[in-house]
Amino acid sequence: MHQPVDSSFRSSVSRSWASAGSDGGRRRVLIVAAILVAAAVAAWLVFGGGAETPAENPEAGRPSITVIVPGTTQVADSVRAVGSIAARRDMPVGVQGEGGAVTAVLVDAGDYAQKGQVLARIDRSVLEQQVSQLQASVIRARADAALAQSELDRAQSLVARGFISKADIERRTATRDGANAAVNVAAAQLREAQARLGRLDIRAPEAGLILERNVEPGQVVSSGSPAVFRMAQNGAMEMRALVAEQDLAGIEVGQSATVQLIGSATEYAGRVWMVEPVINPQTRQGLVRIALSGDRSLRPGGFASGRIEVGTADRPLLPESAVMGDAESSYVYVVAEDGTVERRDVKVGTVSSAGVAISGGLSGKEQVVMSAGAFLNPGEKVSPVLHKPQK
């Protein structure tokens, strides 16, 4: 390609030197030679001075991101729910009798009471006097009955001698029977007064944990007053879990569950003991009651989350680093065929040492970003690198 230019250049220079006979002619020849050299260099640059520019790589500059295609794995399936801690059997304790001024409160919230234990006492002075009076009435009635019986016995011994008529015997017999009846009436009145006196003591209906104390000495209470104590029967607690309507079908009595208090890392084992038959028409949620042991750290009213084991299912299983969360939901990043990063909201199932089971939002065929999700944004272009598990 360059030979024609070089030959022409040499021929022109030779002719110029041959024809030049003076210094002026030599200068003209040098000028012409310089012009021809410049033309040769320009021609070389235009026609053969550089290689062809390669086509631009569309993936150049994209970050390489490790992805995983999880497929599906058989894992223990579970239903997650939130709710509150409550006494399994919440017992309000009130005043059974006539009431009056409280003279003593013998327990406090947090104490454990036995069945029949006195929790508080109400002023007994008036009823104690009535009981004493009725006890005296019973003694008098028994004395009258004994006297009537003695008189009847003497009269019956004189009937055969003719000193006492049959009518007198009948009258004395009636007197004896009336006296015995008076004894029974006085005894019944005494027992009633004693019962009313005993009901002035506020007692625990069952053994359990005192949850609330709503009475103080000097306070006047009656049968119409609000409950003065609240107890948890046997100290047993439960979680009242709110479960979405579509998840209730898989929950049955007897299934195991794990409950965790908000702000605590401790997990409590439980078991479903009741699935209430009514669904809230506004929230479309049902109530599942999970029985828990009577641990003192389980306080009624506390907020908790629960996981109910409902069997096994085939679920995508991801490493914990792939699953992220915000105030709205849990999510992962997936990479589309063209390398575009997409956010995908997911529903998290069982979490174990093997990974996080995804119960909704993924089929298992997607390319899921393993660990760099915190540095990515939806719509960003990346170069996915498939993770190869170690054998």
> Tokens for 190?
């005494």
Determine how many CB atoms are found less than 10 A away from the CB of residue 134. Answer: 19
**In the chain, what percentage of residues exceed pLDDT 70?**
83
Q: What is the pLDDT of residue 51?
A: 46
Q: Which of 339, 343, 348, 341 is nearest to 318 (CA)?
A: 348
For the residues 64-78, what does the mean pLDDT come to? 85
Q: What is the pLDDT of residue 80?
A: 86
Determine how many CB atoms are found less than 10 A away from the CB of residue 90. Answer: 15
β-bridge partners, 240: 84, 289
Kindly tell me if the per-residue pLDDT of 41 is higher than 90: no
Q: What angle do CA 332, 244, 83 make, to 5 degrees?
A: 95
Determine how many CB atoms are found less than 10 A away from the CB of residue 360. Answer: 12
Q: What is the pLDDT of residue 124?
A: 85
Span 348-387, pLDDT tens digits? 877 777 888 888 889 889 999 988 777 888 888 888 888 8
Q: Which residue has the tokens 């174990």?
A: 352
> Tokens for 21?
């006979």
On whether the CB atoms of residues 124 and 200 are closer than 8 A, the answer is: yes
Q: What is the pLDDT of residue 57?
A: 56
Strands 64-68 and 383-386: parallel
Tell me the pLDDT band of 46, cut-offs 50, 70 and 90. low
Q: What is the pLDDT of residue 5?
A: 44
Indicate the average pLDDT of the chain: 83
Kindly tell me if the per-residue pLDDT of 174 is higher than 80: yes
**In the chain, what percentage of residues exceed pLDDT 90?**
32
* CA separation for the pair 390, 346 (Å, rounded): 27
Tell me the pLDDT band of 347, cut-offs 50, 70 and 90. confident
Q: Which of 377, 390, 370, 379 is nearest to 65 (CA)?
A: 370
Q: What is the pLDDT of residue 56?
A: 55
Tell me the pLDDT band of 151, cut-offs 50, 70 and 90. confident
Q: What is the pLDDT of residue 18?
A: 47
Kindly tell me if the per-residue pLDDT of 205 is higher than 80: yes
Q: How distant, in Å, are the alpha carbons of 24, 324, 333, 344 from that of 371? A: 80, 10, 10, 15
Which has the minimum average pLDDT: 115-119, 124-128, 158-162, 291-295? 158-162
Span 2-24, pLDDT tens digits? 444 444 544 544 454 444 445 55
Kindly tell me if the per-residue pLDDT of 311 is higher than 80: no
Better pLDDT: 361 or 155: 361
For the residues 283-304, what does the mean pLDDT come to? 89
> Residue 89 contacts by C-beta under 8 Å, 6 or more apart in sequence?
208, 232, 233, 234, 236
Across 327-346, b (16+ Cβ under 10 Å) vs e yields: eeebbbbbbeeebebeeeeb
Q: What is the pLDDT of residue 353?
A: 77
Span 83-105, pLDDT tens digits? 999 999 999 999 987 888 999 99
What does the H/E/C string look like for 165-190?
Answer: CHHHHHHHHHHHHHHHHHHHHHHHHH
Tell me the pLDDT band of 33, cut-offs 50, 70 and 90. low
Kindly tell me if the per-residue pLDDT of 32 is higher than 80: no
- Identify the H or E element spanning 40: helix 23-48
Q: What is the Cα 102 distance to its own chain's centre? A: 40
Beta-carbon-side half-sphere exposure of residue 357 (alpha carbons within 13 Å):
22
Q: Is 132 helix (H, G, I), strand (E, B) or coil?
A: helix
For the residues 123-130, what does the mean pLDDT come to? 84
- Identify the H or E element spanning 26: helix 23-48
Tell me the pLDDT band of 279, cut-offs 50, 70 and 90. very high
Tell me the pLDDT band of 53, cut-offs 50, 70 and 90. very low
Q: Is 359 helix (H, G, I), strand (E, B) or coil?
A: strand
Q: What is the pLDDT of residue 118?
A: 93
On whether the CB atoms of residues 78 and 349 are closer than 8 A, the answer is: yes
For the residues 213-228, what does the mean pLDDT come to? 90
Please tell me the chain's helix, strand, coil percentages from 3-state DSSP, rounded to the nearest 5. Answer: 30, 35, 35
> Tokens for 56?
């631009």
Better pLDDT: 236 or 21: 236
Span 184-198, pLDDT tens digits? 999 999 998 888 888
On whether the CB atoms of residues 360 and 315 are closer than 8 A, the answer is: no
> Tokens for 374?
């915190």
β-bridge partners, 89: none
> Tokens for 42?
């320009």
β-bridge partners, 100: 221
Whole-model pTM above 0.75?
A: no
> Tokens for 325?
């969360």
Q: What is the DSSP letter of 22?
A: S
For the residues 115-132, what does the mean pLDDT come to? 88
